[in-house]
Amino acid sequence: MSLHITEVRVIVTCPGRNYVFVKVMTSEPGLYGVGDATLNGRELAVASALREHVAPLLVGRDPDRIEDTWQLLFRGTYWRGGPVLQTALAGVDLALWDIKGKRAGMPLHSLLGGKTRECALAYTHAAGRDFKEVEDQVRRAMERGFRAVRTQVAVPGSIGTYGTGGAGEAASAAWPSPDGEAMPFVEAGWDSSRYLRTVPRLFEHLRNTLGDEVELLHDVHERLSPIEACRLASDLEPYRLFFLEDPLRPEHSDSFRVLRRSSTTPIAMGELFTSKYECLPLITDQLIDYIRCDLGHIGGLTEARKIAAIADPFQVRTAWHGPGDIGPPTHAANVHLDCAIPNFGIQEMTFFSAAVNEVCPGAPTYRDGALWPSDAPGLGVDIDEEAAVRFPYKRGYLPIVRKADGSLHDW
């Protein structure tokens, strides 16, 4: 029998935070592919979709047929899409690309058309309780070579503001209540008006103290109404952000028209999208400047390269999602794609802990403010199954946000 898939292993592990890794085994001894199917806070839903529904469909199939397998898993469900299924699909997709690269003896950037650039401009995060603390963090990042930094500051009265290292985030969701059971961390006392007053002052401070050279970014994390987002984007204009990220929820994509008319602050959007279809109007109507889907939640490289190709003639550049809650295989895929496409913009990055690198070695290398792709065949990432077993899964939830009156707000 010709080359075929023999087994799909789903590896759930918590080397500091939870990851779901996929290992697609083939009939050729020693030939397998690795992927990442981590969906922060709902990991087991994806693991179960993979084990119970996806794996049985793949055994016996030719691993070379990536597009056909993608179509099978996307169209063949009838109830298609959504974060759980698209994350499962991404895990398989990356593993199949990894196998193809290994068979060809080529790194993925080579298979994807070859390098258009040597490395991918990267940004890191800086955050603090006050402006000075954020400034110091940006300086530290610049000392490490970063030319672009995302900055977040605590909003007075809001306990553990998003992006400022609230306990819930630091633990990647696993936030035990006093009785030891994992419960969501509550960011309490959110007040959008206070946030809208605080953030422009942060950027005024940063430009006054750091000058104009460093690129600054900010993530709204989908917390604003359209008119509030207009206010923020126009108030930030004097500080020339590289981009303002996710000002609105994906459900409100029509409201980007309003936002676009009110300011020249560049806009990035997309980490919550799960397919190219949600990207379409934002791209074709040029309502955003950067598309930042998560390769791990849109069905992998197969979908991402199509999104990049759609975006290119509309002068929309890429900024793929790259937080710590997606694993090294997705980060590696980001950078292979970044280095192959013409319309790359910037790459969000994470420094993985020693434990994550032990379980899943091969994350892209950081040097001089940029990420460098591996030249090993395939993704360049591996999974140590024995090490993974030493870090068992811990249930955890993403934080939630409540306003001062106790009602729920978008996190």
- Residues lying near Mg ion in the complex (CB under 5 A): 219
Q: Least Å distance between CB 105 and Mg ion? A: 36
- Residues lying near ligand CS2 in the complex (CB under 6 A): 40, 219, 221, 271, 321, 323, 325, 348, 398
Maximum distance among all Cα pairs of the chain, rounded to whole angstroms: 68
Interacting partner of 348 out of Mg ion, ligand CS2, none (Cβ under 5 to 8 A depending on kind): ligand CS2
Q: Least Å distance between CB 299 and ligand CS2? A: 17
Q: Least Å distance between CB 350 and ligand CS2? A: 9
Q: Of 219 and 278, which CB lies nearer to Mg ion in the complex structure? A: 219
Interacting partner of 135 out of Mg ion, ligand CS2, none (Cβ under 5 to 8 A depending on kind): none
356/363 Cα distance (integer angstroms): 10
CA distances from 288 to 66, 268, 278 (A): 30, 6, 13
14/261 Cα distance (integer angstroms): 45
> Can you tell me whether residue 2 is helix, strand or coil?
coil
Half-sphere exposure of 345 (CA within 13 A, CB side): 25
The crossing angle, in degrees rounded to 10, of helices 82-104 and 328-340 is 70
CB 333 within 8 A of CB 379: yes
Q: Least Å distance between CB 221 and ligand CS2? A: 6
> Which of the residues are catalytic?
162, 221
Interacting partner of 338 out of Mg ion, ligand CS2, none (Cβ under 5 to 8 A depending on kind): none
> Nearest-CB residue to Mg ion?
219
CB 292 within 8 A of CB 319: yes
Q: Of 226 and 323, which CB lies nearer to ligand CS2 in the complex structure? A: 323
63/65 Cα distance (integer angstroms): 6
Q: Least Å distance between CB 265 and ligand CS2? A: 17
Q: Of 101 and 328, which CB lies nearer to ligand CS2 in the complex structure? A: 328
Q: Of 135 and 219, which CB lies nearer to ligand CS2 in the complex structure? A: 219
CB 116 within 8 A of CB 341: yes
CB 327 within 8 A of CB 19: yes
Q: Of 54 and 244, which CB lies nearer to Mg ion in the complex structure? A: 244
For 230, the token pair is 């207009």
